[in-house]
Amino acid sequence: MNWSEKLKAPFPFYLDDDRKNIVFILVVSLFVVAFLSVFKPNFSHHTTLTVAQKFLFGGVTFVVLFVDIIILPRLFPKAFDNFTIGKYILITILHLVLIGIASTIIDELFICPQRTLWANIKGANLQVALTGFMPVTIMFLFLKNKMLQQNLRSALEANQELEKIKTLKKEVPVKSNANAPLILHSDTSETLSLHLPDLLFIQADDNYSTVVWKNGQGIQKKLLRVNLKSIEAQINNSFAIRCHRSYIVNVNAISNITGNTNGYKLQILDTDYFIPVSRPKGKEVIEKIQQLRNLMELA
């Protein structure tokens, strides 16, 4: 995965709950007060800060984080949809810049008016960078762990759904139209006919796609000169979903799901194939498995 893909990878927007986020903001603000009390950095100030001044900087931190984390998502909801690592980095930089500006103003007006503006700018921003490094690092690791736990929990729930589907398959008779042939057309006028329930997955490589299915003769493969987007349009089935930029998978063919911070992997039924799921598609795959189970229960 290159840097561009890493920056576009999904990432939690803090705690996704205003009350929890306010508690988090309060904790960070108190950390700033404690940091100024314990380490007593003097990048901005020649004299020791009073308790009131330390809480003033803590209050600035609280206000900036409250605006960035609580207010901005309400004012610009689209900007915070599909939150990514790149967006997390940008909003973290915004936190530090705004706190640095506010700290400079405090130094210039109340604490170090005798110093030059440039000296206050450098001192305040260096202090913000030093003070903010620890909570920013801890929060990043905390959110990453939260995402891992969420993926593991979702994978466990999906596997429970898959077990229910296996049981229902034994109880629900196959409908007569389930074996309707699926005909795939390539760019070279070559065709491939198979039954949709037999489809396992399709793997793409540029303008070529390898169709993998299973019938009475075992695992079958066919290479077609056609891109994955065209294949997806031809199948046009809600349970044959594009789980990755290079893969389409038949939800019926999934036997097990594993999850980690990079997303999910799908084990294909009765095979050694593991299909990657891009992180933006993870939620859709889980939802399709739940929908399939619901449909089978209604059958």
Residue found by looking up tokens 């206050």 in the block: 120
Counted domains in the chain: 2
Query: Which of these ranges, 61-65, 110-114, 165-169, 181-185, has the smallest mean pLDDT?
Result: 165-169
CATH of the domain at 193: 2.40.50.1020
Q: Residue 22 is inside which H or E element, if any? A: helix 18-38
Q: How far apart are CA 56 and CA 108, in angstroms?
A: 14
User: Do 115 and 177 have their domain in common?
Assistant: no
Which residues touch 186 (CB under 8 Å, ≥6 apart)?
192, 224, 225, 226
Structural domain boundaries enclosing 232: 172-298
Instruction: Give the pLDDT confidence of 68-113 residue by residue, as tens digits.
Output: 999 999 999 888 887 889 999 999 999 999 999 999 999 899 888 8
Instruction: Give the pLDDT confidence of 131-163 residue by residue, as tens digits.
Output: 889 889 988 998 888 888 888 887 888 888 888
User: Do 147 and 34 have their domain in common?
Assistant: yes
Instruction: Give the pLDDT confidence of 247-257 residue by residue, as tens digits.
Output: 999 988 988 88
Q: How far apart are CA 248 and CA 255, in angstroms?
A: 15
Higher pLDDT, residue 265 or 69: 69
User: Do 138 and 228 have their domain in common?
Assistant: no
Answer whether residue 157 is part of any domain. Answer: no
User: Do 208 and 293 have their domain in common?
Assistant: yes
pLDDT at 178 over 60: no
Answer whether residue 114 is part of any domain. Answer: yes
Q: How far apart are CA 63 and CA 106, in angstroms?
A: 14
Q: How far apart are CA 205 and CA 203, in angstroms?
A: 7
Q: What is the mean pLDDT of residues 167-179?
A: 57
Contact at 8 Å (CB) between 103 and 110? no
Answer whether residue 69 is part of any domain. Answer: yes
